[in-house]
Amino acid sequence: MNSPRIPAGKQRISTIVFVVVSLVCFAVDLGTKQWALARLEPGEFTPLLGRYFGLELVFNPGAAFSFLAEATWIFTIIAVVVVGVILWLRRRVTSWPWMVTLALLLGGTLGNLSDRFFRQPGIGVGHVVDFLNYYGLFVGNVADIFIVFAAVSIAVLTMRGQPVSSEQPQSKDNDG
């Protein structure tokens, strides 16, 4: 499968792009959470698209749908492991699509992980700030959007047979 590859001489640029994309995702998530905390009242629904989509500030101790709300510390550990795996994989990536996907995943994971570490009720068990209400089915945040987009990208890249790295040296024809 041919796809955009990161040429050997462009690894420094790809690392800078990876760091910038990750930090931008992280900053956008933190900024939108701070906005939600400053502007929204907990539990009050503000419709944006009727009842289909709106804003509602909630503090989620669990995963999606408040799954395992009593085991917040487990999600903290999982997120730390995910960050480690992403950073380990990043060193092997030679594909631009995979590099951007991993950067989105890292930025989103860091956004929710920072809530787990620094929000109430305490270090490692903090509740994630959620404020995007999808038809009452679930409430999420911008970090969740980055994580879901990355998960879909991982599925698509995997189904297309796009390798994370290429063991073969890059030819001059594919350096663009």
Active site residues: 130, 144
C-alpha–C-alpha distance, residues 151 and 104, integer Å: 10
CA pair distance 176, 172, nearest whole angstrom:
8
Residue pair 65/138 in contact by the 8 Å Cβ criterion: yes
| Number of neighbouring beta carbons within 10 Å of residue 56 | 19
Determine the distance from the C-alpha atom of residue 15 to the mean position of all C-alpha atoms in its chain, rounded to a whole number. 17
